[in-house]
Amino acid sequence: MQQSVESLVRLLESYRGRDKVIRTVCYGSQLVGGFLSRKAEADVSSHRLGRSLLLFSAQLSQCRTVLRLFDDLSMLSYSHSYGFGAEEEDAGVRWISVLTNVADQLYYPCEHIAWAADAELIKVKSDKWWLFSTVLWGVSLLLGIFRSFRILLLKKKQLRRCTGEGAGNSNPSQLCRQMRGEVLSVLSSMADLSNAIHWMPPGFLWAGQFPNWLVGLMGSISSVIGLIQMDTGSMDQLDST
């Protein structure tokens, strides 16, 4: 119990860890709240609790939006350090990563303008800026899925050579672990992409068709995967030291 509490405290002390926890609670509240609010005819108290959870989820989402006001520089630093991906061996992975960084970098100012417009700090309509940010988020997710599939293909070939020839510096268990990580990334991005499409203008695929509980479910799946990947990354760092 003590170890679990200490792990949670360490997670909350880091910005990324805290954001993932807030994200998980946000979508989890939307999932439960959306489910309970559907039971209005059966149970008024459950419906009231559901509405409260949905309001709580909206406040947490707003909190994350405000916190992202300070993410531009860290994203710019990462994009600058990655550059054109000179260290990547595969050209496909390299250029997909570069395009993903561009989409992510453009996402932040669009979201900031939309937030400022809603807060009445600037006199512009927020609708188009929310649309721009959602499109950029969706493009980033789609590129991330392509990147993961490309890496999976490369790792599969590498694993086949490693097990077939019994030579090389590759560790089969490490390759399998990396492939599992990419599969989780695909599942996470697909869950988020489904929500991104839902928030697009009506008429585009299933835009606007998701009930609150389904949005919460997709977001919860992505958030839990993110926590698993963060924990796995921490364990890998411990193993390498």
Output the tens digit of pLDDT for each of the chain's 241 residues. Answer: 777 788 888 888 999 999 999 999 999 999 999 999 886 555 788 888 999 999 999 999 999 999 999 999 999 999 999 999 888 989 999 999 999 999 999 999 999 999 999 999 999 999 999 999 999 999 999 999 999 999 999 999 988 887 766 555 668 888 899 999 999 999 999 999 999 999 999 999 999 999 999 999 999 999 999 999 987 765 555 454 4
pLDDT of residue 241: 45
Tokens of 141: 């997710």
pLDDT of residue 169: 61
Q: Tokens 């108290």 correspond to what residue?
A: 45
Tokens of 163: 């097990």
The rounded distance, in Å, linking the Cα atoms of 223 and 137 is 16
Centroid of chain to Cα 138: 11
Burial, 97: exposed, middle or buried (Cβ in 10 Å; 0-12, 13-18, 19+)? buried
pLDDT of residue 170: 67
pLDDT of residue 238: 45
The rounded distance, in Å, linking the Cα atoms of 166 and 78 is 37
User: Of 184, 182, 190, nearest to 219 (Cα)?
Assistant: 190
For helices 15-37 and 2-13, the axis angle rounded to 10 degrees is: 110
pLDDT of residue 233: 65
pLDDT of residue 165: 62
User: Of 25, 28, 38, 50, nearest to 211 (Cα)?
Assistant: 38
User: Of 222, 213, 224, nearest to 57 (Cα)?
Assistant: 213
The rounded distance, in Å, linking the Cα atoms of 13 and 226 is 17
In this prediction the pTM is 0.90
